Structure 1
């Protein structure tokens, strides 16, 4: 699937969210036929049902997340397309898919900057009046949500990552965690035009992932620089 079709199909799917996870799987299968094979990372939750690591919410959490219920979180950001499908499961109920919970997701752009923050020592560039690369969705009967995003960049002191928070329908937090990326994948992306080179912290050097990297790692990433990538991850709450 070429990059134009990848993005076009992604946007078309936003109008029919009930079918989005299945459509993304079909897109992933198409990528596998013509692109690089999947890079497997962490344990698949259905095969190894362990509660996902609890991680810091970080200095850039979503402000008023209820205002950002959407599948397309790109905004005006440029970067290599990334389709993200998350499956949420409940360990306390036999690791069955968890329907009807809220999933908040946020990440930096290709230059390592977050929206809703900036103009200070943590982030020099001021994006406090923008809300790109942030979103909320509710899991379907399969415990799934999907987002259309870009491959995140990195910033000093951290390996590449995506933030995720799982909440009940009434807003009670069930889990805050983070997703890591396989080194071969992010190295390929960061060597391409537009990204800012090799991170100053590898996955194993990152203090957040130091004791939980295998469980933080994306279950699989398929695709390539020309066409974009698809990320799959199962997250387990207790």
Structure 2
């Protein structure tokens, strides 16, 4: 097991809040760190033992081809003629886990000699910890859609994100996983909530930059979103949460109430990429104090030699405004259930009448111990079973 350094413990002790309404004890975070390290190392060993199998190699080949085709099609659809940016990152001043070069644009070219293996392969030994908090802003019942951008509050750098779930025990894809994605907009505001520090226009009825998808036969869920902005107390991040055995309703929506939680995680982004994005509009109108990856409370819990919370990515063109394509493989144990984890909680839910708060916040207040209304992922008392998936019309998938 990886030892917990004095530096990490000191950092943990210094954190009281991140999202507004979120608080954590240093003791609990230390316990989560130990559990995370253990789970990650076990998962990494399992993946390594099966990664050379014929099925695993075939999946890798399909994934490389798929990612290359996606980038090709996005560029064609957007009329991008210029080659992708070829700059490489220089991160000597960042910690060791950040120093891995996730920017694959430098190796991506557009001719017959391009090595798709070099560009679009993925490191299946990288695991995203399921013990990481979903934060106080998880909303159940979001629209089943891959394009989570809406007409309002979604200006920013386009991000095409592919997430692939792999079973750590078999190295095989995990199909039919219900994957929720959400992040704040370019100026640091989340939809779907109405709390101090994050007053979303439309409150609980707003849905921008949120959506849910089922993984396909290769364990893949794809989303069109924007690169997230920042807000006080947290580094730039994207939330992911997955359920197995979710139910597809007759109206085409997905119900995850009482479905096992197989993964809770947050993706982080390189500081140089974040800085470049935030020089553009409307990110550059955000005057809130910035928190870096090194200063973030949960990047400490994410980072480990056994897994990597930063997606690989390529620039779609020669300017950041052309957008990004990013991908990550996430190793999960599809037989586990984190529903009872203290850091899993449902903050709100959508139904045919709109959005509703459950009163849940991480770390305190309204079910902060995971036992309040919706705090442990169960439907509020008296609500019809399976009916909390949103009846709102779904947007066209990208």
Same fold (TM over 0.5): yes
Q: CA deviation at 1:216?
A: 4.7
- Secondary structure at 2:159's aligned position in 1? strand
Q: Residues 36 and 164 from structure 1, CA distance in 2 versus in 1: closer, same or farther, beyond 3 angstroms?
A: same
Q: Residues 52 and 34 from structure 1, CA distance in 2 versus in 1: closer, same or farther, beyond 3 angstroms?
A: same
Which residue in 2 is equivalent to 1:227? 322
- Alignment of 1:88 onto 2:170: no
Maintained 8 Å contact 1:187/1:198? no
Q: Residues 160 and 187 from structure 1, CA distance in 2 versus in 1: closer, same or farther, beyond 3 angstroms?
A: same
- Secondary structure at 1:88's aligned position in 2? strand
Q: Residues 104 and 216 from structure 1, CA distance in 2 versus in 1: closer, same or farther, beyond 3 angstroms?
A: farther
Maintained 8 Å contact 2:269/2:311? no
Structure 1, gaps ≥5 residues long: 1-19
CA distance in 2, matches of 1:45, 1:51: 15
* 2:174 paired residue among 86, 98, 104: 98
1:147-168 alpha-carbon deviations (Å, 9 max, x no partner): 1111111110001100001111
CA distance in 1, matches of 2:81, 2:272: 17
Which residue in 1 is equivalent to 2:102? 41
Which residue in 2 is equivalent to 1:152? 228
Structure with bigger RCO (C-alpha 8 Å, 6+ apart): 1
Q: CA deviation at 1:194?
A: 1.2
CA distance in 1, matches of 2:124, 2:166: 12
Which residue in 2 is equivalent to 1:236? 331
TM-score, normalised to structure 2, is 0.49
- Secondary structure at 1:210's aligned position in 2? helix
Q: How does 1:120-139 map to 2 (within 5 A)?
A: 120-128=195-203, 129-139=205-215
Q: CA deviation at 1:85?
A: 0.7
Q: Residues 96 and 45 from structure 1, CA distance in 2 versus in 1: closer, same or farther, beyond 3 angstroms?
A: farther
Q: CA deviation at 1:226?
A: 2.4
Which residue in 2 is equivalent to 1:57? 134
Maintained 8 Å contact 2:200/2:206? no
CA distance in 2, matches of 1:199, 1:97: 40
- Secondary structure at 2:325's aligned position in 1? strand
Which residue in 1 is equivalent to 2:296? 206
The alignment covers a number of residue pairs equal to 215
Which residue in 1 is equivalent to 2:116? none
CA distance in 1, matches of 2:244, 2:121: 20
Maintained 8 Å contact 2:175/2:219? yes
Q: Residues 25 and 88 from structure 1, CA distance in 2 versus in 1: closer, same or farther, beyond 3 angstroms?
A: farther
Maintained 8 Å contact 1:21/1:145? no
TM-score, normalised to structure 1, is 0.79
- Secondary structure at 2:72's aligned position in 1? helix
Maintained 8 Å contact 2:127/2:329? no
Higher strand proportion, which one?
A: 1
Structure 2, gaps ≥5 residues long: 1-65, 90-100, 104-119, 247-258, 334-398
Maintained 8 Å contact 1:21/1:144? no
Q: CA deviation at 1:35?
A: 2.1
CA distance in 2, matches of 1:21, 1:135: 21
CA distance in 2, matches of 1:213, 1:180: 10
